Amino acid sequence: MSEDGAGPAGSHRTEAQAGARKTALAVRGLSVSYGNVVAVHDATFTVAEGDACAITGPNGNGKSSILMGVTGMVRRKGGVEIFGRPAPNGDVGWAARHGLTLVPERRQLYPELSATDNIILGCYSWTRSIGKARRSASFGRAIDLFPELKPHLKQAAGTLSGGQQQMVAIARGLASDPKILAVDEPCLGLAEAVARRVYDVLASIHEQGTTLIVVEEAPKRALTLCNARVEVRNGVAGAAVAGAA
Amino acid sequence: MKFGNLLIAGLVTGSIYAVFAVCVSVWYRVSNILNLAVGDFAMVGALGVDNLYRVKGMPLPAAIATTLVVVAIFAFAYDRVVLRLAQDGPRRMEGIVVTFFFTFALSFFIDGVAKMLFGTDVHAAPALWSGQALTWASLHLERAGLLVLACAIMIGGAFWLYIRYTLGGKALEACGENAIGARIAGIDTRRYRWLIFVATAVIAAIFGIVESPITGYTYLSGATISLTGFLAAAYGGFRKPGRALVAGLFIGILEAMIGGYVSAQYGDTVLYAILAALVLTWPRGLGFESAVSG
């Protein structure tokens, strides 16, 4: 985690309001710490269904830790509800089965497995049958979204370029058939042209009806896509006072 | 017919290498830990059945079942107590040097217990399929040897098929490739680790029971068996059970041929010289280097 050395993140505010739409994700009083280091302190926000929500803020302020806590990759304090159902703490599989899938920072692929195998493992959250996974709509959609991956599908994921690996990671996320796709720093270390391509794909995923949460250090880029924003900032007063909003 | 008989002998020895190589590489694929105790589970299988059947007078099927259950429970408990603390705790132990000791210590521990329980003599489980050696023209094949070969091919083949053609098998690979990435996909890496650990322990024990009538075991046999398995597993890059199976059989045949045609006395020296030369000349093809990590 890049946030390890961070101080507590103080203020979190939601800018766009959900309106009448259904709440996809509700986070209340979320705190994440690594040992003695508090990475996220008392974050509260909601994401409405169909939103594209950007989580922005400087590096080391706990943006990624929010996603890690929400998806259950790390233990958290506070409540998380996915489509109204309380998510058990630390159970990534449950979150994935109920519609929330993480595309993590630094992609976390399986380097020696082929790109196809990487993507198809996204289906593991809902099936154990490789035949069902191959024939599924979500797997087909994940593959079709990235025509540039076609010639490389049999290649070991570790030998792909950074941009291609990011696409494999997004495709793996889509294969789990998510209702909410949480993408962590999708453009980290990518060339500008590739970053634009990644954002185009995210935009089309959003248009097809998937709720998006994008963690992004550069708010400008994020706001080309997103209609809602959660700002994470290491506030001077907010950090020290418990429950600062 | 010298060639044929050497080939048969080589295949039988090779299957012993192959089975342990498969067990080592499958579990390494999940956990990135080399299981140095795999041979000790085989020894416990063989000597445990011998002890229950010959000394305690239990019927053979009951003796086999009891031994396997004990091995399974012990392996499960070891995972719960030691591996869980070491791997799932807040500070995960990583690196081949550190994790080496978990299973190295286990190997010594099992040896010690086995010495107390079974003594220091050479014993073997009773032959499961006794009778004259099978003879065809002038080829001879011990029945136990045939069982050993069949076991090796079934075990290696089953794991190879599982990993290549099922989603569960690919998830198993993902655990070892990237544990964080595996959890993101909803894969329970702990469950895979203990399941495969227990499964390979039981497989090793079964194989020990089948194989012991050929070689005979003492409480110290485990380490030697683990090492031969390691050698073959290394030729599969510790990751590919299918390749480990083939490598095991190949090394067995090569060993027999060198013993028969070149020199019985310097057989091992020549064998290891050839194996080392292969590694040096064709490292990538043999899995010693990967395209990804170099």
- The domain limits of chain B are 17-222
Q: Would you state the structure tokens that stand for residue B161, as one six-digit string? A: 């098929």
How does residue B294 score in pLDDT terms, banded at 50, 70 and 90?
very low
Q: CA A82 to CA A24: how far, in whole Å?
A: 6
Contact at CB, B177 and A133, closer than 8 angstroms: no
Terminal alpha carbon distance of chain B: 45
Compute the C-alpha angle B241/B247/B253, nearest 5°: 140
**Residue A13, both tokens:** 């505010």
Tokens representing A78 are 């506070």
Q: Is B178 on the interface with A (CB under 8 A)?
A: yes
Could you tell me the CA-to-CA distances from B291 to A111, A158, B120, B160, B164 in Å, in that order?
A: 10, 8, 47, 21, 19
Beta-strand relationship, A11-14 and A228-233: antiparallel
Radius of gyration of chain B (CA): 19
pLDDT digits (tens, 9 = 90+) for A97-119: 999 999 999 999 999 999 999 99
Confidence of residue B87 (pLDDT cuts 50, 70, 90): confident
Q: How far is A21 from chain B (nearest CA, A)?
A: 28
- B residues 1..60 contacting A (CB < 8 A): none
10 Å Cβ neighbour count for B181? 25
Contact B225, B39 (CB under 8 A): yes
pLDDT digits (tens, 9 = 90+) for A27-61: 988 888 888 888 888 888 889 999 999 988 888 88
Q: Are B108 and B100 in contact (CB under 8 A)?
A: no
Q: Rounded to whole angstroms, how far apart are CA atoms B66 and B73?
A: 11
Q: Which residues of A touch B187 (CB under 8 A)?
A: 93, 121, 124
CA distances from residue B93 to A87, B31, B102, B175 in whole angstroms, order as listed? 29, 11, 10, 15
pLDDT for the residue A137:
96
| Longest CA pairwise span in chain B (Å) | 64
Chain-chain contact of A158 with B170 (C-beta, under 8 angstroms)? no
Residue A20: per-residue pLDDT: 61
Cα separation of B115 and B125, whole Å?
Answer: 16
Q: What's the half-sphere exposure (Cβ side, CA atoms, 13 Å) at B226?
A: 21
Residue A37 Ramachandran class (φ > 0 left, ψ -120 to 50 alpha, else beta): beta
Residues of A in contact with B291 (CB under 8 A): 156, 158-159
Nearest CB neighbour to A128, from listed B167, B185, B239: B167
* Tokens linked to A174: 């889509």
Out of A97, A102, A108, the one facing B178 most closely (by C-beta) is A108
Q: Which two tokens stand for residue B34?
A: 């080399």
List of residues 6+ apart from B116 with CB closer than 8 A: none
Q: What is the pLDDT of residue A236?
A: 24
ipTM at complex level: 0.87
Distance (Å, whole) CA A75 – CA B294: 35
From the list B121, B118, B127, the residue with the least C-alpha distance to B213 is B127
Q: B229-267: per-residue pLDDT in tens?
A: 888 888 877 888 888 999 999 999 999 999 999 888 888
Running DSSP on this structure, what letter comes out for residue B80?
I
Q: Report how far apart the first and last C-alpha atoms of chain A are (Å, whole number).
A: 24
B173-227 pLDDT, tens digit per residue, is: 999 999 999 999 999 999 999 999 999 999 999 999 999 999 899 999 998 888 8
- Is B187 part of the contact surface with chain A (CB cutoff 8 Å)? yes
Cα nearest neighbour of B29 on chain A: A112
Give contacts of A 192-231 with B, CB under 8 A.
none
pLDDT for B152 equals 93
Give A80's strand partners.
A27
> Under a CB-based contact definition with an 8 Å cutoff, are residues B154 and B21 in contact?
no
Residue B131 pLDDT class (50, 70, 90 cuts): confident
Contact state of B167 with A120 under an 8 Å Cβ cutoff: yes
Structure confidence at residue A220 (pLDDT): 85
Residue pair A154/A168 in contact (Cβ under 8 Å)? The answer is no
pLDDT for residue A9 is more than 60: no
DSSP-derived secondary structure letter, B260: I
Report which of B137, B135, B156 is spatially closest to residue B146, judged by C-alpha positions: B135
**A window 32-51, beta carbon within 8 A of B:** 35
- Closest by CA to B124, choosing from B7, B209, B181, is B209
Q: CB of B44 within 8 A of CB of B208?
A: yes
Considering only alpha carbons, which residue of chain A is nearest residue B240?
A112
Amino acid making up residue A23: T
Residues B241, B26: contact at Cβ < 8 Å?
Answer: yes
The pair of three-digit structure tokens given for residue B96, joined into one six-digit string: 């081949």
- Check if the beta carbon of residue A25 is closer than 8 Å to that of residue A81: yes
Mutate to test the interface with A, among B166, B167, B195, B284 (most CBs of A within 10 A): B167
| pTM (global) more than 0.90 | no
What is the distance between the alpha carbons of residues B56 and B59, in angstroms, rounded to a whole number? Answer: 9
Mean pLDDT within B145-164: 93
Percent pLDDT > 70 in chain A is: 87
Q: What is the DSSP string of B99-120?
A: HHHHHHHHHHHHHHHHHHHH-S
Decide: helix, strand or coil at residue A45: strand
- Quick one: which H or E segment has residue B28? helix B2-31
- Chain A, residues 96-135, CB within 8 A of chain B, namely 96-97, 101-102, 104, 107-113, 117, 120-125, 127-130, 133
Q: How far apart are CA B207 and CA B199, in angstroms?
A: 12
In our burial notation (b when 16+ CB lie closer than 10 A, e otherwise), range A30-57 reads bbbbbeeebbbbbbbbbbbbbbbbbbbb
Per-residue model confidence (pLDDT) at position B271 = 85
Report the half-sphere exposure of A158 (CA within 13 A, side-chain side): 12
Mutant choice from A124, A152, A166, A177 vs B, greatest count of B C-beta within 10 A: A124
Which pLDDT value is given to residue B281? 85
- Tens digit of each residue's pLDDT (9 = 90 or more) over A170-227: 999 999 999 999 999 999 889 999 999 999 999 999 999 999 999 988 888 888 898 8
pLDDT in tens, B20-54: 999 999 999 998 888 999 999 999 999 999 999 99
**Residue of B166, B167, B183 with shortest CB distance to A73:** B183
- Of the candidates B165, B183, B291, the beta carbon closest to that of A130 is on B165
- Residue A178 CA, chain-centre distance (Å), reads 11
Contact A129 B178 (CB under 8 A): no
The 10s digit of each residue's pLDDT in A78-87 is 999 999 999 9
C-beta of residue B12 within 8 angstroms of C-beta of residue B214: yes
